[in-house]
Amino acid sequence: MTEAPEISIIVNNYNYARFLPEALDSALAQREVTAEVVVVDDGSTDGSREVIEGYGDRIRARFQPNGGQARAINAGVAMARAPILAFLDADDRWHPDKLSAVREAFDASPEAGLVYHRLQPVHSDGTHAFAAIPRSLCNGDLGPRLLRSGGRWPFAMTSSLAVRRSLWLEAGDIPAEFTISADAWIAGVLPFLAPVVALPEALGYYRIHDNTWFRHHDDAAMLARRMTHWEETARVTNAFLAERGMPGRLRLRDHFDYRVAQARLGREDAPGMLALALHGLTDAGEPSAVRRLRDTLFALRNLQRDRAEGALPADVR
């Protein structure tokens, strides 16, 4: 009889056949833990099916029409059998001891609903790109921080996140609006329901390449896309809080990155340089004073450069 899994690994994939073997191999190579690997292919057209089918019964797979990241992850969770869910993007990979560390963290903190860790950014050739992210870590009840920061806090991406199935069921599936960056629901809503545990180690590798969210250099279209995403995230989160009768609501004027994007795009309601500087230095979304200073200086430098070079249009709406 097959041993029941302690952790279900949910891999979501869309047209990442070139990266998928590294992700799946890292999931299957986890040490000191009983895990199952669930792969949901979201309508890929690049040969991903052949890669997935090549793993045979070592994984459990689902192939579905393209519907976005939220639907893919939800489908994977529906297939999962373990009490802990760990998420892995198909273009990332894990350290072999990642799941054992996550399990130990949940065992040590029975009240915790979400565990995350740092990720090491890497180039496609495997070399390190820059220091592990996020630089700052947050533990405990993060609801008050999220309400003060417009929902912003320094969490890592999907491949660092693990949650208890019971918490997932309490919150419900990721809304279909999250066609990208579905981690914004996992890391944005679940902390209102249960404490968070942060592990300082970099237990995974985040691949740096141009995709639907990341660019080596910001452009106007990407900034506008991020703003739309933050607006939708705030709307969905506030609807969730209202439905639960929970106090407080997210306000985008408290979201530092959103306000920076407004200023860089020259939106009419954008803050001025002084207001932006004050916001950055007091930003509730960043617990480290040193990081707040660095982030503020970086934002102001980019804004000054944009204005001097005309690098971004006044408005892309």
Tens-place pLDDT, residues 141-174: 999 999 999 999 998 789 999 999 999 999 999 9
Q: If you search the block for the tokens 């891999």, which residue do you land on?
A: 11
pLDDT confidence band for 214 (50 / 70 / 90): low
Average pLDDT over residues 300-316: 75
Tell me whether residue 208 is exposed, middle or buried, using C-beta atoms within 10 angstroms of its C-beta: 0 to 12, 13 to 18, 19 or more: middle
Cα separation, 176 vs 184, in Å, equals 12
The token pair at 316 is 């892309």
- The reported pLDDT for the residue numbered 180 is 76
Cα separation, 289 vs 295, in Å, equals 10
Average pLDDT over residues 126-134: 92
**273-300 tens-digit pLDDT:** 999 999 999 999 999 999 999 999 999 9
For 263-313, give the secondary structure using H, E and C.
HHCCCCCCCCHHHHHHHHHCCCCCCCHHHHHHHHHHHHHHHHHHHHHCCCC
Sign, Cα dihedral of 207, 73, 37, 136: positive
- The reported pLDDT for the residue numbered 217 is 64
pLDDT at 212 over 70: no
Average pLDDT over residues 214-229: 81
Cis peptide bond N-terminal to 96, omega within 30 = no
The token pair at 121 is 């950014």
Residue 245 vs residue 155, higher pLDDT? 245
Cα separation, 195 vs 128, in Å, equals 31
- The reported pLDDT for the residue numbered 215 is 53
Q: Indicate the pTM of the whole model.
A: 0.92
- The reported pLDDT for the residue numbered 316 is 40
Residue 268 vs residue 92, higher pLDDT? 92
Alpha carbon 298 to its chain centroid, in Å, reads: 22
Average pLDDT over residues 17-29: 98
pLDDT at 56 over 90: yes
Cβ–Cβ < 8 Å for 220, 316? yes
pLDDT at 211 over 70: no
- The reported pLDDT for the residue numbered 291 is 97
Tell me whether residue 138 is exposed, middle or buried, using C-beta atoms within 10 angstroms of its C-beta: 0 to 12, 13 to 18, 19 or more: buried
Cα separation, 182 vs 74, in Å, equals 10
Cα separation, 170 vs 182, in Å, equals 17
Mean of the per-residue pLDDT values of the chain: 93
pLDDT confidence band for 216 (50 / 70 / 90): low
CATH number of 7-207: 3.90.550.10
Q: Which residue ranges does the chain devote to CATH 3.90.550.10?
A: 7-207
The token pair at 107 is 């065992």
pLDDT at 213 over 80: no
- Percentage of the chain with pLDDT > 90? 86
Continuous H helices in 155-288? 165-171, 183-189, 220-243, 256-264, 273-281
Q: Which residues contact 144 (CB under 8 A, 6 or more apart)?
A: none
pLDDT confidence band for 315 (50 / 70 / 90): very low
**Under DSSP, is residue 62 helix (H, G, I), strand (E, B) or coil?**
strand
The token pair at 175 is 């809304």
**Under DSSP, is residue 106 helix (H, G, I), strand (E, B) or coil?**
helix
